[in-house]
């Protein structure tokens, strides 16, 4: 009894209540921001922010859909640490800008990201680049790829050339749906029908 | 530490926690706001009801698709053989009049205009006659089946089999809006969907489930609701001219011919030769499926409704038209050749196919005229039996090739093959005919009729076109305004959420 009183004396009940609220809200934020999904490599994760819908839709209509997800191109794959360091850094930047509503009308890739994507082009297409036949077909190829990025010439790969936020209205994209659990949504619509 | 200091420390800690909870709450609220945007930002307003037939209502939510759809009203493009204007095909090729003698198509047959004109053109066409009331006229209600997004609405109200009952004029006031949004799209999700049951049923009879079709397949299947060979089956539901696709044995001319032969079905009896004829409607989808583009997984929409970019927005061009009028967005997406080169590649195929089609056409006219001559000479049913079947099969093959607009490009090899079998059959038949005529005492050439113009050809088969035109005029003055008035009244009575 005496011990309890001591703790109670040190931290009154109101602290526990507020700490409880804090923790509850913290988990709620994790849940509604789908924070856990960022550990995966699913391309669906990238449209957690709906402004990425045009990028998702153009990728989903491209041949790369069959072989590469967003992370295959947009995060480095040289080593495990670097991958998650870059992913975390980029992800937090994106999430902050989106949450603060600071996104530009046209999203452009930054220099750091360009380097990552360029290296990833080479990672998969290495054999095509050093292919002797290609040098014969496209005489300038070897010279050209030393001073520019792949997509400076292969401009449609894979997102196309039109890339404003409004470039693909009504595109079919797996955007996050209502965070309410099914039973609660059903309950709501039942009430509406009544 | 004094008691007072400890109390202040606790108070500060409490305030820090309160502020942290408050800020975390703001963050949660912002995340929720942005998630809620996703629900609205990329989806329609949801004010379109399930069977909304008015394209303008859909157009409010989808202005780009709607406005490009509206371009199907254009009639200025002419390709070498077709285009989007109205071409009187009987005038261009009067032999058609003789081939279809005794059947509606000999009255009036034009190259179709864009979807925008679907209802106007079927009303104006002489084939639908000049009905004076609900139960009058030569055609059944089934002729409306492909003309309008009002069709699924009425089918939903009355039932499918009931829709196909009665005369064409019965539903004149119901079918009002031209082919459009609701024919292919789900009003809630905008996904492609099949609105015509004939296609679903044909798939079922082939043991396939159309709901399992991929999106790319759907981009052709929505077209296959109408651009296919079909017939009216009277044996499914009594009194109902039930729209049916003859696909049970396959898509080829031979497979459908066998299907019809087994049923002993004929569309009409030829006025000259008395052969039990088949009219191929427009097996566009079936022929396309035998071609190389289909084999490579290209869908109808890829060429006839390619993607386009407008003001930074990429969307599907709903101006459904000949790719020859839009080479850049259709052919050149895959083929790196000059526009003129690509067009000449198409024309070359069309030119070569039509050479043999023309020959087959002439031979068929001869066969019909010679068969009539044989009847006039006193030939018996028994003697004529094989000849009439030969004419039936040969003309079916000709029509399969001729009626599938675009067939000579969609699948030149298959169309070339079908026409060549038609030529063989009709010539074999004419050999039997020649022997029969010799037996009947006539061993000379029978003169080819003078059918150099549409008027001469129609006179040759004994048709009174002036009478048909007069009936049509009366219909347009008397009944058509009533239909329009009723339709407008109906649509004005709908609230936003109706029908």
Q: What is the 3-state secondary structure (H, E, C) of B410-452?
A: HCHHHHHHHHHHHHHHHHHHHHHHHHHHHHCCCCCCCCCCCCC
Q: Three-state SS for B240?
A: strand
**A65 in a structural domain:** yes
pTM above 0.90, yes or no: no
- Determine the 3-state secondary structure of B272 from DSSP: coil
How many angstroms separate the CA atoms of B2 and B322, rounded?
91
| DSSP-assigned letter for residue B94 | T
- Euclidean distance between CA atoms B281 and A107, whole angstroms: 51
Within 8 A by CB and 6+ apart from B224, the residues are B199, B285
Per 3-state DSSP, chain A is made up of helix, strand and coil in percentages (nearest 5) of 65, 0, 35
Residue A76 shares a structural domain with residue A125? yes
Spatial contact of B383 and B437, defined as CB atoms under 8 Å apart: no
Q: Answer yes or no: is A115 within a domain.
A: yes
Say yes or no for a CB contact (<8 Å) between B31 and A29: yes
In a domain, A112, yes or no: yes
Query: Is A81 found in the same domain as A27?
Result: no
Is the confidence metric ipTM above 0.90 for this complex?
A: no
A49 with A27, same domain: the answer is no
| Count of CB pairs separated by less than 8 Å, A with B | 83
pLDDT of residue B498: 54
Q: Assess whether A28 and A49 both reside in one domain.
A: no
Q: Are A98 and B30 in contact (CB under 8 A)?
A: no
CATH of the domain at A145: 1.10.3820.10
Contact B43 A170 (CB under 8 A): yes
Query: Based on the domain organization, do A93 and A124 belong to the same domain?
Result: yes
Indicate whether A168 belongs to any domain: yes
At B368 the pLDDT is: 97
The answer to whether the beta carbons of residues B39 and A178 sit under 8 Å apart is: yes
Q: Are residues A16 and A49 in the same domain?
A: no
Cβ of A13 under 8 Å from any chain B Cβ? Answer: no
CB-based contact (8 Å) between A160 and chain B?
yes
pLDDT tens-digit profile of A146-171? 888 999 989 888 898 877 888 887 77
Give residues with Cβ within 8 angstroms of A143, minimum separation 6. Answer: none
Which string of DSSP letters, residue by residue, matches B452-481? SSHHHHHHHTT--HHHHHHHHHHHHHHHHH
In a domain, A39, yes or no: no
Question: Distance (Å, rounded) from C-alpha B495 to C-alpha B490?
Answer: 10
Contact B35 A160 (CB under 8 A): no
Interchain contact, B312 vs A176, CB within 8 Å: no
A114 found inside a domain: yes
Chain A residues whose beta carbon lies within 8 Å of the beta carbon of residue B40: none
Q: How far apart are CA B267 and CA B316, in angstroms?
A: 38
Answer yes or no: do A61 and A141 share one domain. yes
| Per-position pLDDT tens, chain B of length 499 | 577 787 888 888 889 989 999 999 999 999 888 888 877 766 666 678 899 999 999 998 898 999 999 999 999 999 999 999 999 999 999 999 999 999 999 999 999 899 999 999 999 999 999 999 999 999 999 999 999 999 999 999 999 999 999 999 999 999 999 999 999 999 888 889 999 999 999 999 999 999 999 989 999 999 999 999 999 999 999 999 999 999 999 999 999 999 999 999 999 999 999 999 999 999 999 999 999 999 999 999 999 999 888 877 888 999 999 999 999 999 998 998 999 999 999 999 999 999 999 999 999 999 999 999 999 999 999 999 999 999 999 999 999 999 988 999 999 999 999 999 999 999 999 999 999 999 999 999 999 999 999 999 999 999 999 999 999 999 999 999 999 999 999 999 986 555 5
CA distance B405 to B111: 9
Phi and psi, residue B56, nearest 5°: -65, -35
Candidates A12, A29, A162; nearest CB to B24:
A29
A90 lies in the same domain as A7: no
Q: What number of residues does chain B have?
A: 499
Nearest CB to B42; choose among A53, A162, A178: A53
Asked if A49 is an interface residue toward chain B (Cβ–Cβ < 8 A), one would say yes
H-type helices in B233-316, by residue range? 253-263, 284-289, 292-295, 300-304
Do residue A106 and residue A55 come from a single domain? yes
The answer to whether residue A183 sits within a structural domain is no
User: How buried is residue B280: exposed, middle or buried, by Cβ count under 10 Å (0-12/13-18/19+)?
Assistant: buried
Tell me: do A81 and A59 sit in the same domain.
yes
By C-alpha distance, the chain B residue nearest A51 is: B38
CB within 8 Å: B24 and A26:
yes
- Cross-chain residue pair A167–B191, CB shorter than 8 Å: no
Q: Which of B27, B312, B313 sits opposite A29 (nearest CB)?
A: B27
Strands B231-233 and B242-244: antiparallel
Interface test with A, best of B42, B63, B181, B190 (most A CBs within 10 A): B42
Helix axes A13-32, B3-41, angle to 10 degrees: 20
Cα B449 to Cα B440: distance, rounded to the nearest angstrom: 21
Judgement on whether residues A63 and A142 belong to the same structural domain of the protein = yes
Distance between CA B153 and CA B168 in Å, rounded?
Answer: 17
Query: In this structure, what token pair is assigned to residue B220?
Result: 């052709």
Of B21, B32, B38, which is closest to A18 when you measure between CB atoms? B21
Chain A residues touching B314 at Cβ < 8 A? 160, 162, 167-168
**Residues 6 or more apart whose Cβ sits within 8 Å of residue B253:** B396, B397, B400, B418, B421
B38–A175 C-beta distance less than 8 A: yes
Overall domain count for chain A: 2
Q: Are residues A7 and A65 in the same domain?
A: no
Per the CB < 8 Å rule, is A18 touching B18? yes
Q: Are B314 and A175 an interchain contact pair (Cβ–Cβ within 8 Å)?
A: no
Residue ranges making up the domain that contains A14: 1-32
Q: Indicate which of A15, A29, A107, A185 best probes the interface with B, i.e. most B CBs within 10 Å of its own CB.
A: A29
3-state secondary structure of B268: strand
Q: How far apart are CA B399 and CA B287, in angstroms?
A: 12
Residues 6+ apart with CB under 8 A from A40: none
Which stretches of chain B sit within 8 Å of chain A by CB? 10, 13-14, 17-18, 20-21, 24-25, 27-28, 30-32, 34-35, 37-39, 41-44, 62, 64, 190-191, 309, 312-315
Domain annotation covers residue A83:
yes
Contact of A6 with chain B, judged by CB distance below 8 Å, is answered with no
Residue A110, CA distances (Å) to A43, B36, B390 in order: 20, 28, 72
């Amino acid at each position: 009894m005496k011990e309890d009183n001591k703790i109670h004396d040190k931290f009154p009940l109101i602290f526990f209540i507020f700490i409880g609220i804090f923790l509850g809200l913290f988990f709620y934020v994790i849940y509604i921001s789908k924070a856990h999904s960022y550990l995966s490599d699913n391309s669906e994760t990238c449209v957690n922010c709906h402004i990425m819908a045009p990028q998702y839709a153009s990728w989903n209509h491209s041949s790369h859909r069959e072989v590469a997800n967003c992370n295959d191109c947009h995060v480095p794959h040289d080593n495990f640490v670097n991958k998650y360091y870059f992913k975390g850094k980029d992800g937090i930047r994106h999430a902050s800008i989106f949450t603060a509503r600071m996104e530009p009308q046209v999203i452009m890739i930054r220099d750091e990201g360009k380097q990552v994507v360029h290296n990833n082009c080479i990672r998969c297409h290495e054999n095509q680049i050093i292919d002797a036949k290609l040098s014969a077909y496209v005489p300038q190829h070897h010279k050209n790829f030393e001073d520019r990025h792949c997509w400076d010439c292969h401009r449609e790969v894979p997102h196309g050339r039109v890339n404003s936020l409004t470039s693909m209205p009504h595109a079919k994209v797996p955007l996050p749906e209502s965070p309410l659990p099914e039973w609660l949504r059903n309950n709501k619509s039942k009430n509406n029908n009544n | 530490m004094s008691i007072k200091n400890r109390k202040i420390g606790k108070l500060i800690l409490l305030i820090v926690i309160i502020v942290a909870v408050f800020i975390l709450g703001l963050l949660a609220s912002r995340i929720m706001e942005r998630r809620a945007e996703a629900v609205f930002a990329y989806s329609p307003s949801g004010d379109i009801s399930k069977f909304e037939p008015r394209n303008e209502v859909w157009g409010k939510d989808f202005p780009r698709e709607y406005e490009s759809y509206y371009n199907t009203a254009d009639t200025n493009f002419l390709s070498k053989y077709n285009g989007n204007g109205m071409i009187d095909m009987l005038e261009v090729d009067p032999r058609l009049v003789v081939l279809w003698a005794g059947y509606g198509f000999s009255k009036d047959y034009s190259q179709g205009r864009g979807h925008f004109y679907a209802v106007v053109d079927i009303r104006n066409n002489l084939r639908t006659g000049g009905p004076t009331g609900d139960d009058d006229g030569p055609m059944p209600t089934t002729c409306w089946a492909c003309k309008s997004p009002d069709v699924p609405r009425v089918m939903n109200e009355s039932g499918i089999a009931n829709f196909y009952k009665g005369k064409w004029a019965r539903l004149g006031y119901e079918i009002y809006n031209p082919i459009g949004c609701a024919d292919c799209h789900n009003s809630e999700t905008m996904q492609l969907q099949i609105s015509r049951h004939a296609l679903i049923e044909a798939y079922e009879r082939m043991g396939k489930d159309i709901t399992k079709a991929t999106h790319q397949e759907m981009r052709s299947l929505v077209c296959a609701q109408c651009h296919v060979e079909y017939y009216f089956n009277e044996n499914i539901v009594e009194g109902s001219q039930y729209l049916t696709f003859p696909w049970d044995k396959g898509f080829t001319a031979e497979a459908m011919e066998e299907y019809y032969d087994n049923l002993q079905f004929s569309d009409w009896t030829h006025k000259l030769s008395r052969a039990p004829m088949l009219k191929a409607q427009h097996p566009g989808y079936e022929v396309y499926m035998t071609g190389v583009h289909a084999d490579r997984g290209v869908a109808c929409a890829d060429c006839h409704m390619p993607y386009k970019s407008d003001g930074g927005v990429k969307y599907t061009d709903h101006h459904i038209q000949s790719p020859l009028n839009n080479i850049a967005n259709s052919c050149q997406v895959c083929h790196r050749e000059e526009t003129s080169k690509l067009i000449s590649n198409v024309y070359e195929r069309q030119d070569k196919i039509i050479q043999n089609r023309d020959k087959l056409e002439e031979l068929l006219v001869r066969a019909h005229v010679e068969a009539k001559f044989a009847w006039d000479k006193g030939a018996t049913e028994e003697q004529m039996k094989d000849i009439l079947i030969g004419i039936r099969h040969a003309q079916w093959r000709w029509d399969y090739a001729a009626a599938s607009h675009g067939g000579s490009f969609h699948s030149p090899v298959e169309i070339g093959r079908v026409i060549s079998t038609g030529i063989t059959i009709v010539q074999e038949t004419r050999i039997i005919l020649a022997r029969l005529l010799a037996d009947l005492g006539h061993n000379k050439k029978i003169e080819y009729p003078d059918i150099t113009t549409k008027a001469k050809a129609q006179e040759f088969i004994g048709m009174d076109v002036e009478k048909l035109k007069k009936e049509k005029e009366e219909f347009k003055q008397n009944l058509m305004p009533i239909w329009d008035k009723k339709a407008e009244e109906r649509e004005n009575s709908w609230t936003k959420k109706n029908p």
